Amino acid sequence: MIASVLVANRGEIARRIFRTARGLGLQCVAVHSTADAEMPYVGEADAAVHLPGTAPGETYLNAELVIEAARKAGADAVHPGYGFLSENADFAQAVVDAGLTWIGPPAAAISSMGSKIEAKKLMAAAGVPVLAELTPASVGADDLPVLVKASAGGGGRGMRVVHRLEELAGEIEAASAEALSAFGDGTVFCERYLATGRHIEVQMLADQHGTIWAVGERECSIQRRHQKVVEEAPSPLVERIPSMRTELFDAARKAAEAIGYVGAGTVEFLADEQGNFFFLEMNTRLQVEHPVTESTTGLDLVALQFSIAAGEALPPEPPAAVGHSIEVRLYAEDPAHDWQPQTGRLHRFHLPGAEFAPGGPREGTPWVRVDSGVIDGSEVSPYYDAMLAKVIVWGATRTEAAMRLAAELARAEIHGVRTNRDLLVRILRHRAFLDGETDTAFLDRHGLDVLAEPLADKAAEELSALAAALADAAARRETATVQNRLPSGWRNLPSQSQRKTFSAGDSTYEVSYRLTRDGLVVDGDVSLVALGPDRAVLEVGDVRRTFEVAAYPGLVCVDSSLGSVALTPLERFTDPSHQVAAGSLLAPMPGTVIRVGVAVGDEVEKGQPLLWLEAMKMEHTISAPADGVVVELTVSAGQQVEVGAVLAVVREGEGE
């Protein structure tokens, strides 16, 4: 009997497993790094054990520390979640050897899938379709384009697309270095690259008595940097091709049988538009996107993991899927600027119609679920993945699910860090997405520059700036100590306007207004309907709109039906000490310098990569802003830097 479970993970993953474990009457034990001490999941656990340090290698990836934490807290089972040690066969065996129950597949099954190279050979022998493996040395011009992949790990790390033969050696070297850093194994291989493929996966469950379920398929084709962004069940492609589901399920069962699989796992395939598919890998764990399968089947996959680990048998057949479910990954990142991850305090995180509840929808109505590791006030650190939450919607039809999810995201209150929310909304509302045209080239084909545009246009930003200025005036009035509390800037006689300046992205807005005995006076066809310190109701022409205003130190967030706008109040006079030298390259986020490609005195061209930073599980390139010469280099490989730190200075025109 399991009475207490340690979840060897963090954030949203730990909270998700706690949710089910509590429902089963189990005690929940958390482990946390120094950086995660104040995260919500730590406070929600019945017991929490500190793993000293911040880097994953010294905390969540330290198997001995995690098992010792289970002993200290009196846990009798370990659930690995997904990520970190969840697919580490040595860790799984060490948990069993320590006398604890492992909530996962046998160590031997994990080991057999640990190397993508060996896994493909095993699957080919079992009759599962595979793409032919290419050794790096054997790749010729006729094989291009090819995909360089890490043999160990996943999540897009150690993966490169190569279109020209002369680039192959350099990309293999870079992929191998990234794989070694991420997984401790620099082995890479090549395979044919399908530029417009579909990423299709089958959710598997297998008990200890020989029953194997193919629960349903998911499509996860819309990706950035080979990492999934939008996931759904069922797959639009599989729905279109009648025989494909049966063939996929048969192949997935063969894969599970070939390795004696037990527990929850996912077999991933790459498919073309004709329905041909090829084995990619088997994830010997629960997947990030498992909620869409739960939503369409009503199953709690985590609860089934626990029951399988306890030796219980599955029914002969899984329940049938009903309706459609779509999940998006909400990241703290800036898609328009090379997906730069964002850090800082998340002042507000609220989705009005969402709940955190595993399983399926209630009474067949559209249903919104959020699996999140953050709450109001959470700090987004640079040490781990940039995902804030997964937002999931179930609907009777795919269109209903997509439109409801887009609406929920659009009216979410997310204050403090930039996110990919607007990109997700534009994807969900895009005609091609609604038509099921969702291959892996979706972002490239439809233009990231267009899809990443803010939902609020320039006119909406300007109105939001006016609402922010007016709400600020109302707040000052409420806190004023004068007896009559006259509005800020109020004059008995006509006078000059009050002015406030805000920046939003690359734009600057100076708003001017006067509050008189006749009400608000502003330029343009705008009238004030109602005003408070956190709300302004404005009428533009004959259209009335409400602007919700939230002010924080150095930041004002305005939410309306026109879109959410983050404004930075600008001071009238700039402090000279805050200025940096022209041509300075600043760190866009806290991170570690992993490579430096230039030296002082080198001539460089605009766009040439100069340095590489690693932060939040991603590698980021810092490029030259213009043609010139490197006149200053302030960092070296291995050095930690803070956001805004000067990394180098390039002086324009020095080479001419």
Is the dihedral angle over the CA atoms 52, 57, 61, 65 positive or is it negative?
A: negative
pLDDT at position 486: 53
pLDDT at position 578: 55
Is 115 in contact with 187 (CB distance < 8 Å)? yes
Rounded distance between C-alpha atoms, residue 536 and residue 520, angstroms = 12
Question: Over 80: is that where the pLDDT of 643 sits?
Answer: no
Of 152-166, 280-294, 596-610, give the range with the top mean pLDDT: 280-294
User: Kind and range of the H or E element at 95?
Assistant: helix 89-97
Confidence band of 519 (pLDDT split at 50, 70, 90): low
Please provide the CATH number assigned to the domain covering 113-192. Answer: 3.30.1490.20
Say how far residue 487 (Cα) sits from the centre of its chain: 44
Is 313 in contact with 210 (CB distance < 8 Å)? no
pLDDT at position 494: 57
Residue 224: strand pairing partners: 227
pLDDT at position 430: 98
Is the dihedral angle over the CA atoms 614, 617, 621, 622 positive or is it negative?
A: negative
Rounded distance between C-alpha atoms, residue 545 and residue 560, angstroms = 7
* pLDDT tens per residue across span 429-451: 999 999 999 999 999 999 999 99
pLDDT at position 399: 97
The whole-chain average pLDDT of the chain stands at 90
The CATH fold of domain 464-569: Glycoprotein, Type 4 Pilin (3.30.700)
Confidence band of 500 (pLDDT split at 50, 70, 90): very high
Question: Over 50: is that where the pLDDT of 655 sits?
Answer: no
CA distances from 215 to 158, 289, 319, 459 (A): 30, 14, 8, 48
Question: Over 90: is that where the pLDDT of 422 sits?
Answer: yes
Angle separating helix axes 421-429 and 398-410, nearest 10 degrees: 150
User: Greater confidence, 572 or 10?
Assistant: 10
pLDDT at position 554: 94
Residue with tokens 């009777």: 396
Residue 402 sits at the vertex; the CA angle it makes with 12 and 204, to the nearest 5 degrees, is 55
Q: Tokens for 645, please give them.
A: 């730190």
Rounded distance between C-alpha atoms, residue 91 and residue 50, angstroms = 19
Question: Over 70: is that where the pLDDT of 485 sits?
Answer: no
pLDDT at position 288: 96
Rounded distance between C-alpha atoms, residue 182 and residue 169, angstroms = 20
pLDDT at position 84: 93
| Backbone phi and psi for residue 423, each to the nearest 5 degrees, phi listed first | -60, -45
Mean pLDDT of 253-279: 96
**Residue 334 neighbours by CB under 8 Å, 6+ apart:** 340, 342, 418
Mean pLDDT of 199-208: 98
Task: Give one word for 506, left, alpha or beta, with left for phi > 0 and alpha for psi -120 to 50.
Answer: alpha
pLDDT at position 158: 79
**Residue 631 neighbours by CB under 8 Å, 6+ apart:** 583, 600, 601, 649, 650, 651, 654
Asked which of 142-146, 284-288, 313-317 is least confident by mean pLDDT, the reply is 142-146
pLDDT at position 625: 86
Q: Where are the domains of the chain?
A: 4-103, 113-192, 198-451, 464-569, 579-652
User: Greater confidence, 414 or 496?
Assistant: 414
Please provide the CATH number assigned to the domain covering 198-451. Answer: 3.30.470.20
Mean pLDDT of 54-69: 95
pTM: 0.88
Rounded distance between C-alpha atoms, residue 28 and residue 368, angstroms = 26
Asked which of 425-429, 431-435, 633-637 is least confident by mean pLDDT, the reply is 633-637
Confidence band of 157 (pLDDT split at 50, 70, 90): confident
Q: Tokens for 272, please give them.
A: 């073309």
Is 372 in contact with 361 (CB distance < 8 Å)? no
CA-closest candidate to residue 380, choices 337, 421, 341:
341
Is the preceding omega at residue 361 within 30 degrees of 0, hence cis? no
Amino acid at 204: M
Question: Over 90: is that where the pLDDT of 17 sits?
Answer: yes
> Does domain 4-103 correspond to CATH entry 3.30.565.10?
no
Please provide the CATH number assigned to the domain covering 579-652. Answer: 2.40.50.100
Rounded distance between C-alpha atoms, residue 433 and residue 475, angstroms = 43
pLDDT at position 254: 97
Confidence band of 483 (pLDDT split at 50, 70, 90): very low
Mean pLDDT of 131-137: 81
pLDDT at position 149: 87
Confidence band of 222 (pLDDT split at 50, 70, 90): very high
Rounded distance between C-alpha atoms, residue 209 and residue 480, angstroms = 73
The count of other CB atoms within 10 Å of the CB of residue 64 is 9
Confidence band of 52 (pLDDT split at 50, 70, 90): very high
